[in-house]
Amino acid sequence: MSKALLTVLALVSAVAVAMSMQTVARGSAEPGGGVIGQSSRPNVVVLMTDDETVQDMAVMPRTRALLGAHGVTFARSYVSYPVCCPSRATFFSGQYAHNHRVMGLYPPTGGYARFNRWNSLPVWLERAGYVTAHIGKYLNGYGTQIPADVPPGWTEWHGAVDGSTYRMWGYTLNENGRRRTYGSPFAQDPRLYQTDVYSGKAVDFIKRRASGRRPFFLSVAFLAPHHESASIRAVTGKLVRPAPRDARSLANLSLEPTRAFDEADMTDKPPFLRRTPLRLRAMDRIAEHFRQRQRSLLAVDDAVQAIVDALREQGELRNTYILFTSDNGYMQGEHDVPSGKMLPYDPSTQVPLLLRGPGIPSGQVSDELVGNVDLAPTIVQIAGARAGLPLDGRSLLPFARSPARRTRRPLLHETGGLRYVPVRDQDQDGAPAVRRLLSYRAVRTNRWLYVEYRDGARELYDLARDPNELHSHYPDPAYGPVRRTLHRVLERLADCRAAACRKPAPPAANSGPSDRRPAIG
């Protein structure tokens, strides 16, 4: 999504809020516009979707109005390892994957059992006096690799147990040590739709905990718009099922592809991507899946409204930081990839990020380059907690409070590891073979995306003049100085730890010969 479109969305959201009825949260005012409830320390709510792109925010007007128009939208927010489990491990640790060591979805190098849950964000927050709760999806393999436990640090736990996580009905939650299954996979009881159940549990938690003396941290992880399991899709023929009330919504919605869709010239891409161009049938399927994904997000938009309303009704809204994001993006025909993630391109790595809370201005857009490695440091600073690990990221609060602030801190993308090859269902574990994952390392600066694949392929994109990543400059000798500079930065980031990960990139990492050339597209 372009900066111009993001700005328009922010303005539309601001207008929508201005026209709505203004409500005043209960409680006494504090400096900076906060409201003091039972606890003067701020609460933190993190709302995370699964596989949501920045473009998907277009169908979530309530979220944009309630969070974006009352806070800051980070226009350049990326995840480091763009797939579920490593990305969520980064959220809960504040570390890049090469430090938290969750290098995939499945054993032996990935999954829930690989994560050091004894020294992670909820543990730090609980030690700082916070009541903590998690609702929904956690890390892949939870309940299958080892028995479904209640992970350390969680005061209240409602974790989705694999392999039922990827079902909108018939899913099982471990609820504080006891399992409960909600409905059956094909009996679509509207009362048991997964997103709505998660929303109801979040509202209940807020109502029960708002009157306490301790501040709270609430993590809600929605499945939408991620596809359901293969066994469900085989019967329904749908990628993901929306709430019954939304089944007929968005009938006229059409996919508005970027110039990267069905890319005409793929000769600058790695060999494994140089496939037959998308055919008409594939394009129709992509468009239909796009509509299904969008419909599933309507219930998430409702959930955001319900959670914000509950905070307001309990007098906690103005003393609560609310962060909305996704674990990774999703490719839908860009660069001839019909669906998926893992790749370093923007549709796969860029995610929505909205933050509102005390001291954060309303309706602003930040162009600072930020990442999911920054989420845990932000929450640690808000809570006044002490991290038990060296944090690779940094707090977002200075950039949220001063949206015009800029730095040259680069971001690392990395993938790798091993995985079991599933037999029937790509969301399940337990297959007999092991396969090495697609592996690359990449550095993203304010200007460039530079990628080094394990097989020797290389890419270099000027994001300022080629935001769709259509033309790699890597083979061009004129870009030799840029390549060498970015390679050195990447070498440093590849095994960085703590402060070394936050070191600014040299000025040469944000300039180059294309300064004198026209933009692409």
Exposed/middle/buried for residue 2 (C-beta within 10 Å: 0-12, 13-18, 19+): exposed
| Burial classification of residue 150, based on how many CB atoms lie within 10 Å of its CB (0-12 exposed, 13-18 middle, 19 or more buried) | middle
CA angle 377, 176, 86 (to 5 degrees): 40
84, 85, 496, 501: the active-site residue: 84
- Characterize 298-331 residue by residue with b for buried, 16 or more Cβ atoms within 10 angstroms of its Cβ, and e for exposed: bbbbbbbbbbbebbbbbbbbbbbbbbbbbbbbbb
> Residue 257: what residue type?
P
User: Residue 369 has which token pair?
Assistant: 């380059």
Complete DSSP assignment for 5-59:
HHHHHHHHHHHHHHHSPP---SSEEEGGGEEE-S-SSPEEEEEEESS--SGGGGG
Question: Residue holding tokens 């097989």?
Answer: 455
> Residue 184's CB: how many other CB atoms inside 10 A?
12
Return the sign of the alpha-carbon dihedral for residues 20, 21, 25, 31: positive
Q: Is 84 a catalytic residue?
A: yes
Strands (E), 329-471: 353-356, 364-366, 370-371, 411-414, 418-420, 434-436, 440-444, 448-453, 458-462
Which active-site residues does the annotation give? 84
